[in-house]
Chain A
Amino acid sequence: MRVLWTNIDYAASVVLFLIGLYAVIAKGNLIKKLMGLNIMETAVFAFVMATGIVTGGDAPILGKGAEPPFANPLPQALILTGIVVALSTTALALSLIMRIYERHGTIESDDLWGVE
């Protein structure tokens, strides 16, 4: 339990992930499902960013006056990529939801059973 407390940042991203998972499973509205998916993505980003924290570390920008320790640049670079991909998938999913609404007049997944 003590270990979980020192890793409270990781635990927080697990909780955030579960909130997103709940929205994806329990909500019927497609927009809300997509929001849940985005919350899950954010949780993963927060988790990976937390692995790069260095206590007392500076931003990894070298140059005059920069002193180690520096924060880990690798998670930041990877998550920058991840955020852009999340943006792309969100935009595509939203446009598909818009088409579904135009065609069927609803975005409740329960009402979409069996429609063509």
Chain B
Amino acid sequence: MRRALIIALLVLAAVPLLFGVSQLPPIGSTGNPTYTHVVPRYLEEGAEEAGAENIVTAVILNYRGYDTNGEVTVIFTALVAVLGVLTFAKATAAKSEPAEETPVPAPPMPVSPVTRFIVRILAPFILLFSIYMVIYGHTSPGGGFQGGTIVGALLIAVSLVSGSAQAKRLLPERIRPWLQPAAVLAFALVGVAGLWLIGPYLSFPVEGELVFLRTPWLTIIEFGIGIGGAAIVASIFWAMEGSD
């Protein structure tokens, strides 16, 4: 009965969705409405106007910088919420009712020596690749989020093969609270600089003698996003692992 209801609901949802999809303009033509409004301008003038040959980076950091500023705030807020839910709630629970039976954690699976060896060999190259991605994010595929996620994944891999204590040495407790909001801080820095030198918050120089500042500003934001992303991904993992 319940299964029949669910299938009926899914069919009910499928019909209008498929009908709507079949009415959309065909995929792949340059005459699509998504391609005819702002996109020609991005593609024709983006490289000179925004200072990034990678138009996706130009859109993310320059044209829609506010959007990305909000987004890095979202991911930082998510980190704060995760830490609040896992760490602080646990601390208060332990204080008030210590007799609560806790589920016994499964013993950790031993890491194969092959895995450990491969991770150790690859770690510097992975780090180098991520730095390359962040630095060249405005002229080639890549960018802050991608590079930062790679570093975060590297920290998680190191935590898995040699223990979190080892991995946390790469991101010491003292500076971690400054690295986690790095993206927000970088945006605030560049935004206020734009406010001070040019005009509105987060405005980039388009022409004139300040135009040389544009690429450094983009790189500052990219590095902020990369460092912040890596610290946030790794911190979420450590908080969930329970070692934080």
Contacts and interface: CB of A to CB of B under 8 A. Distances in A.
Given A61-B54, A63-B53, A63-B139, A84 B75 contact: yes
B78 A88 contact: yes
B70 to A, nearest CB: 9
Contacts of B82: 91-92, 95
Interface in B114-153: 139-141, 143, 145
Interface residues on B, range: 35 or more
Interface residues on A, range: 35 or more
Contact of A54 (B14, B35, B47, B141): B35
B60 A77 contact: yes
B39 interface: yes
B30 interface: yes
A44 to B, nearest CB: 11
A29 interface: no
Interface in B212-244: 229, 233, 236, 239-240
Nearest to B235: A91
Nearest to A61: B54
Contacts of B139: 61, 63
| Main DSSP-derived SS at the B contact region | helix
A89 B14 contact: no
Contact of A70 (B27, B55, B90): B55
A89 B46 CA distance: 32
Given A62-B54, A70-B43, 8 more contacts: A7-B21, A7-B22, A51-B34, A60-B43, A68-B43, A74-B42, A81-B60, A94-B240
Interface of B: 3, 6, 9-10, 13-14, 17-18, 21-24, 26-30, 32, 34-35, 38-39, 42-43, 46-47, 53-56, 58-60, 64, 67-68, 71-72, 74-75, 77-79, 81-82, 85-86, 89-90, 93, 102-103, 139-141, 143, 145, 229, 233, 236, 239-240
Interface of A: 1, 3-4, 6-7, 9-11, 14, 17-18, 21-22, 25-26, 50-55, 59-63, 68-70, 72-77, 80-81, 84-85, 87-89, 91-92, 94-96, 98-99, 101-102, 105
